[in-house]
Structure 1
Amino acid sequence: MLEELLTAAVAAGSVGVVYVAAAARVVKQYERGVVLRFGRLAGHVRSPGFTMIVPAVDRMHKINMQIVTMPVPAQEGITRDNVTVRVDAVVYFKVVDAAAALINVEDYKFAVSQMAQTSLRSIIGKSDLDDLLSNREKLNQGLELMIDSPAIGWGVQIDRVEIKDVSLPETMKRSMARQAEADRERRARIINADAEFQASKKLADAARQMAETPSALQLRLLQTVMAVAAEKNSTLVLPIPVELLRFLERGAQEHPDHPSIEQSAEQSTER
């Protein structure tokens, strides 16, 4: 009798161990467990940790709640200003409702991928080339709204959408390079012309100042002589301004006792 009781206890224990092994489930921290009982949603979503289900009756599906990084394949389209481009992007999203992600859509990752490709082609057709190249933040926000609207019903939240690269045809690249080169040349010419204009204004001011003070022209001439002499040249070519000669002529007329320019020149020749 005792042996029968021991055998029954061992058998019951074995059945219990088998039952616990078949019913025990462990949900990881970044997962949520959705239990279907006879094909219908049973109770609430299971939290991380140890949990039990009914063997052969319940079936648990584990849904990853981490942020998923999904690259969007390059999409070719024509912009609003009739330029053919290829644009690729990346989508960051996560599941916020595990039950909806399992029940409302067959494969939420594939659905998000297809919606991202469709939205990317749509945004290409609505945008200009300049927007794709320089105003990407606004386009990223538009893409996020377009993808997030249907994804809410799938239990998925779009965290961020980024346009990675915009590929242009080689002919368009060459045209843009020529345009940029022409624009830089135009700006260089404008800067040079503005510099010439400012320099001419300063020279005109200096000329007026020297006209009011003739001795300034002589001082400027001496400065030029000193600058040239500093180079230690064997030959010195010194141009004499006409205004300086007129200044010396007026000085000779005001002081008749001093020799004139012609007399000074003759004396120098005789010597």
Structure 2
Amino acid sequence: MIFDLNLGLGSILLPLLLILLFSSLRILREYQRGVVFQLGRFWKVKGPGLVIVVPGIQQMVRVDLRVVTMDVAPQDVISRDNVSVKVNAVVFFRVVDPQKAIIQVEDFLMATSQLAQTTLRVVLGKHELDEMLAERERLNLDVQKILDAQTDSWGIKVTNVEIKHIDLNETMIRAIARQAEAERERRAKVIHAEGEKQAASALLEAATTLAQRPEAMQLRYLQTMTQVAGDRATTVVLPLPLDLLAALKPKEK
């Protein structure tokens, strides 16, 4: 009778022990870590590989150590020169300390997302529109440094921040186009004026050289006549030397 009782208890306890053993086994992948709490208090970080968690006494929270790509929702930003734009960005970060990521903040993904949105608005609001459009690399670095410093206590490392798009309204786009067109016209006028200045300097130098040798002027005159004779033009302008015109003037009494 006692043997039958022991056999009955053994047949019940053995499946329970097997179920308890299998339920306590956890397998963590290479990029995962498990933050284990024992009776509500932090115990240790385990993984990767096979991990044993005692049911009812220990609880484990999985943490992914891979780089997270977070898309920051479009933010309404007012620049320093009072221009309203919509800016969206992407943040790359990863968990470097699973213990802090679970204990220090309730939801590190949500916290990082909200912090990225507010930081993006604050940093871009300190710059003018032209700086936003022309100096994105510097702005990306500024936002990344601020996020990295503030999330360090959460066990998070922000590796990169990229501003994807700056959306302008139609009025501002037309104003920028007019500004660019005016800038191109200004540059064209400056280039034209510089060319006129260089041409005037060259003509002055040529006139000085020709004035030193009168026969050079005569040769230049004959060369010009040769070029005019070779052109198929119906009208020919024949320049006359000034000394010849002076000889034709009537003499004063």
> Cα distance, 1:149 vs. partner?
3.0
CA contact (8 A) 2:24 2:55 kept: yes
Q: How many residues align?
A: 245
SS in 1 for 2:105: coil
1:89 — aligned with what?
89
2:32 aligned partner, one-letter code? E
Structure 2 stretches lacking a partner, 5+ long = 249-253
- Show the 5 A alignment for 1:112-191: 112-191=112-191
Tell me the residue number matched to 1:22. Answer: 23
2:123–2:143 Cα contact (<8 Å) kept: yes
Q: Distance in 1 between matches of 2:107 and 2:94?
A: 14
Change (3 A) 1:207 1:27: same
Do the aligned partners of 2:88 and 2:165 also contact (CA within 8 Å) in 1?
yes
- Structure 2 residue aligned with 1:193: 193
CA contact (8 A) 1:218 1:244 kept: no
- TM-score (norm. length: structure 2): 0.84
Shift of 1:6: 9.2
- Which residue is 2:32 aligned to? 31
- Separation in structure 1 between the aligned mates of residue 171 and residue 13 of structure 2, nearest angstrom: 80
Q: Offset of 1:68 from its aligned partner?
A: 0.6
* Amino acid aligned to 1:94: R
Where does residue 69 of structure 2 map in the other structure? Answer: 69
User: The residue matched to 1:45 in structure 2 has which SS?
Assistant: strand
Aligned to 1:207: 207
Contact 1:225–1:238 under 8 Å retained in 2: no
1:74 counterpart SS class: strand
Residue 222 of structure 1 is matched in structure 2 by 222
Query: SS of 2:77's equivalent?
Result: strand
Task: Give 1:15 deviation, angstroms.
Answer: 4.7
Q: Which has the larger radius of gyration?
A: 1
Select between 131-140 and 86-95 the one with higher mean Cα deviation.
131-140
SS in 2 for 1:192: helix
C-alpha distance in 1 between matches for 2:119 and 2:98: 24
Aligned amino acid, residue 173 of structure 1: I
Instruction: Tell me if the contact between 1:33 and 1:60 (Cα under 8 Å) persists in the aligned partners.
Output: yes
Shift of 1:135: 2.2
Q: Report the alpha carbon displacement of residue 14 of structure 1 after superposing the two structures with TM.
A: 4.5
Distance 1:57 1:223 in 2: 109
* Matching residue's letter, 2:75: Q
Q: In the aligned structure 2, how far is the partner of 1:237 from the partner of 1:6? A: 132
**In 1: Cα distance, 2:18 partner to 2:221 partner:** 113
Q: Is the 8 A contact 1:112 1:151 kept in 2?
A: yes
Structure 2 CA distance for aligned equivalents of residues 64 and 153 of structure 1 = 18
Using structure 1 for the length normalisation, give the TM-score.
Answer: 0.79
Task: Output the CA distance in 1 between the equivalents of 2:109 and 2:211.
Answer: 85
Deviation at 1:134, TM superposition (A): 1.7
> What is the distance in 2 between the residues matched to 1:20 and 1:227?
108
In the alignment, which residue of structure 1 is the partner of 2:239? 240
The answer to which of 57-66 and 8-17 deviates more is 8-17
For residue 119 of structure 1, report the CA deviation from its aligned partner.
1.1
Kindly state the Cα deviation for residue 245 of structure 1 after the two structures are TM-superposed: 4.4
Instruction: Structure 1: state its 5+ residue gaps.
Output: 250-260, 262-271
Quick one: distance in 2 between partners of 1:214 and 1:101? 93
Alpha carbons 1:217, 1:244 under 8 Å: kept: no
